[in-house]
């Protein structure tokens, strides 16, 4: 039940934040490996990107990749939050004195994140391809011509085999390790502090909401460079053997981006990342916490 509730919570958040994920993906691919000022900026900021995509590609394009996004969130966060929730419920994250251990919490969050992200990697890759697809006048990054999630998975599998479906999976893991450990550790620690300080009434939904807001800021700050590199790894063109033509791995992607686009290149789309990751973190953790409370109160 922990895994089911976790997956449903993440899907609930995804419906609201997927348009921001589309915008984030486009902004992260814009001007790839080009010096600032040497390329046309189709998307000047988050709000301009929303307007441009809606105007050129149509409003429906803001929900591109929703099917794989929902499936990925259910798989990845179902495993991630479900595993973390079990570890928390069984007391593995607390010391003998009953105090939450930040080290154990971060380690559990990272391990749970790796498990979920690796299994869901093919879906995440397809999601990135679909969200990057755009009309030629506003296209950024490599353009795959997928007709949908199942068509993409079949096409990649037929062309590159089972291994090709997990291209970029290892490179995407640092993003998840840092993001997941930061998110769950700061969420649990902040929630514990708020309860100890008695700022809100016991069992109040405001405790989970405030803790999730703090967690969202921490996640965006720590995760954005790795998120940019991961998006580019998944979206890069490949040769006939399925090998990436632009980057050898996550470290190469980070170094090339920093060298050619500068420090700010590693934080491309951070506004979109905040507007997407912040609300997604808040909504998914809030839904997760409240669903668990509801289940423990009424269903057991």
Question: pLDDT value at position 300?
Answer: 60
Which position has the higher pLDDT, 206 or 53?
53
Q: Which residues contact 162 (CB under 8 A, 6 or more apart)?
A: none
Its domain, for residue 265, covers: 1-299
User: Domain with 169 in it: what CATH number?
Assistant: 1.50.40.10
Contact assessment for residue 165 and residue 224, using Cβ atoms and an 8 Å cutoff = no
Condensed to tens digits (0 to 9), the pLDDT of residues 24-62 reads: 999 999 999 999 999 999 999 999 999 999 999 999 999
Question: pLDDT value at position 290?
Answer: 81
Neighbours of 16 (CB within 10 A): 12
What is d(CA 62, CA 50) in angstroms, rounded to the nearest whole number? 8
Contact assessment for residue 112 and residue 81, using Cβ atoms and an 8 Å cutoff = yes
* DSSP 8-state assignment for residue 237: -
pLDDT for residue 177 is more than 90: no
Q: Model confidence at 136, in pLDDT bands (50, 70, 90)?
A: very high
Question: pLDDT value at position 282?
Answer: 76
Condensed to tens digits (0 to 9), the pLDDT of residues 251-279 reads: 999 999 999 999 899 999 888 888 877 67
Question: pLDDT value at position 272?
Answer: 85
Structure tokens at 10: 């993440």
What is d(CA 14, CA 12) in angstroms, rounded to the nearest whole number? 6
Question: pLDDT value at position 267?
Answer: 92
pTM, two decimal places: 0.84
Average pLDDT, the chain: 90
If one counts the domains in the chain, the total is: 1
């Amino acid at each position: 039940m922990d895994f089911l509730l976790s997956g449903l919570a993440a899907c609930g958040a995804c419906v609201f934040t997927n348009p921001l994920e589309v915008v984030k993906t486009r902004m992260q691919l814009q001007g790839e490996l080009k010096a600032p000022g040497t390329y046309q900026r189709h998307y000047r900021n988050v709000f301009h990107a929303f307007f441009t995509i809606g105007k050129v590609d149509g409003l429906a394009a803001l929900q591109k990749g929703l099917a794989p996004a929902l499936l990925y969130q259910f798989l990845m966060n179902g495993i991630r939050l479900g595993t973390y929730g079990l570890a928390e419920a069984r007391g593995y994250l607390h010391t003998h004195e009953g105090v939450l251990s930040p080290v154990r919490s971060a380690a559990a969050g990272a391990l749970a994140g790796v498990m979920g992200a690796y299994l869901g990697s093919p879906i995440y890759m397809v999601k990135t391809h679909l969200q990057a697809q755009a009309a030629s006048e506003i296209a950024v990054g490599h353009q795959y011509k997928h007709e949908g999630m199942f068509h993409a998975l079949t096409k990649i599998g037929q062309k590159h085999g089972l291994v090709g479906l997990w291209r970029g999976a290892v490179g995407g893991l640092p993003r998840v390790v840092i993001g997941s450990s930061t998110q769950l550790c700061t969420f649990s620690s902040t929630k514990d502090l708020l309860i100890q300080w008695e700022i809100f009434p016991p069992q109040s939904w405001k405790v989970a909401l405030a803790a999730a807001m703090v967690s969202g800021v921490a996640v965006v700050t720590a995760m954005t460079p790795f998120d940019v590199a991961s998006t580019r790894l998944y979206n890069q063109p490949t040769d006939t053997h399925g090998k990436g033509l632009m980057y050898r791995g996550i470290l190469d992607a980070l170094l090339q981006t920093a060298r050619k686009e500068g420090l700010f290149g590693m934080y491309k789309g951070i506004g979109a990342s905040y507007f997407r990751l912040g609300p997604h973190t808040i909504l998914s953790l809030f839904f997760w916490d409240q669903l668990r409370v509801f289940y423990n109160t009424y269903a057991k």
